[in-house]
Amino acid sequence: MRTSNISGFYKLASAERLKILQAFAGLNEDELAVLSMKGALDELADRMIENVVGTMPLPLGIATHFMINEMDYLIPMAIEEPSVVAAASNAAKMARARGGFYTSSTEPVMIGQIQVTKLSDPSAAKFTVLEHKTAILELANRCDPVLVKLGGGAIDVDVRVIATDSGPQVILHLLVNVKDAMGANAVNTMAESVAPFVEELTGGTVNLRIISNLATHRLARAKAVFARDEIGGEAVVEGILSAYHFAKADPFRCATHNKGIMNGIDAVVIATGNDFRAVEAGAHAYASITGRYLPLTCWEKSSEGDLVGTIELPLALGLVGGATTTHPTAKVNVKLLGVRTANELAEIIAAVGLAQNFAALRALATEGIQRGHMSLHARNVAVAAGATGDRIERVAEILVKERKVRLDRAKEVLETLLQ
């Protein structure tokens, strides 16, 4: 019987799990072989997550031309979408005329939230917590002597009383400098360890103790000037500014504007083995921090008529702990980037986000996005239609020329080539 109610799936070897999938979905040997490819991960995959049957590879491309803080970088990007790597490289090339990208970042400080409930006197509880800040920090720092030795650790406590549907709650923020870690483990451990003391101090009940992905104290920034004549002249500058103003005024457009930024950011986050869900959550929450959903970038015109772009967003990235230190491809990618700190990585990624946004807005404000997209997309459609070898390129060329990049047309073209 076809059932997902399989007890002990986690105890099986991956080959046995694959047999179950074969029976469940009628997979053939070729399909099983595709699933079970381990690639660079090899046996590691089985230790990284549960119930492993294989891996899911993504293309890894290298963005070229990036000059950041007057240093050259080759940027690894893992992404399934055509045109993203080419667009980032192209934008980085155009930025070079005015020196490329300049970046900065704040200290890598993450927030651990402790939710205190069932308090009759929440404001007084807030003050009691603040009176005992030093003791709370000492307790937190006992959890992670290594981090403290490296110059990090819990550095401050912030407390708010918030109104909720179940009445007022006291929310304690434990601010932790996590140095080169993403920080979730360190922060969650600290938040859990100080919670009993917070209950003792306030007389309330602690419910959640967890990191916040809205990492407002851990910001990365990048800036670039795009010379007017390098990018196509005055009309292009005005077109990009108008597109930016559209995104600023309209959340429907803004979601797509920010999605384009995240195309670049996620690709490098994934290539370096970092937590792209945390980065996504933080980015969009930060974009809404004023109460309105706004672009993560800002575009202006300089007094010389050049286009000036800036980006600021929270980037919780790690170089130690997590997949960055275990995933073989991520390790090579970090070496390729040559970064020594998580902040350096965050700044590079912010620059890629800015480049990606520039490239998208320039394409949209001029010839449209489809022309650049189409040739790679057409190759994918040709493959989907069953083309192999040289025929992939031949089918793709015809589809692009006809401006009919569709599966039905690809099948027809392939048939005529096969006759």
The answer to whether residue 260 forms part of the interface with ligand MEV (CB under 6 A) is yes
Our answer to whether residue 275 is catalytic in this structure is yes
CA-based nearest residue to 105, from 214, 248, 215? 215
Task: Count, in order, helices (H) and strands (E) of the chain.
Answer: 18, 10
Looking at residue 204, the DSSP 8-state letter turns out to be S
Residue 353 to residue 84: CA distance in whole angstroms: 11
Phi-psi region of 206 (alpha: psi -120 to 50; beta: other; left: phi over 0): beta
Sheet holding 71-78, edge to edge: 71-78, 60-68, 101-105, 219-226, 307-314, 297-301
The one among 17, 228, 257, 362 contacting ligand MEV by CB under 6 A: 257
Interaction residues for ligand MEV, span 128-167 (CB under 6 A)? none
DSSP string, 48-110: HSSS--------EEEEEEEEETTEEEEEEEE-SSTTHHHHHHHHHHHHGGGT-EEEEE---EE
Catalytic residue among 248, 259, 301, 411: 259
Our answer to whether residue 65 is catalytic in this structure is no
Catalytic residue among 266, 275, 312, 344: 275
**Of the listed pieces 58-66, 214-222, 258-266, 308-316, which binds ligand MEV according to CB under 6 A?**
258-266
Catalytic residue among 31, 46, 81, 230: 81
Q: Which is nearer to ligand MEV, 84 or 345 (CB)?
A: 84
The answer to whether residue 283 forms part of the interface with ligand MEV (CB under 6 A) is no
Residue 126 to residue 280: CA distance in whole angstroms: 31
# binding residues, ligand MEV (CB under 6 A): 9
Our answer to whether residue 81 is catalytic in this structure is yes
Our answer to whether residue 373 is catalytic in this structure is yes
- For residue 5, give the 3-state DSSP assignment: coil
x-or-dash pattern for ligand MEV, window 356-385, by CB under 6 A? Answer: ----x---x----x----------------
Q: Which is nearer to ligand MEV, 255 or 320 (CB)?
A: 255
x-or-dash pattern for ligand MEV, window 324-363, by CB under 6 A? Answer: ------------------------------------x---
Residue 360 to residue 301: CA distance in whole angstroms: 18
The one among 90, 115, 263, 297 contacting ligand MEV by CB under 6 A: 263
Minimum distance of ligand MEV from residue 103's CB (angstroms): 22
Which residues in this chain contact ligand MEV in the complex, by CB under 6 A?
81, 256-257, 259-260, 263, 360, 364, 369
- Residues marked active site are found at 81, 259, 275, 373
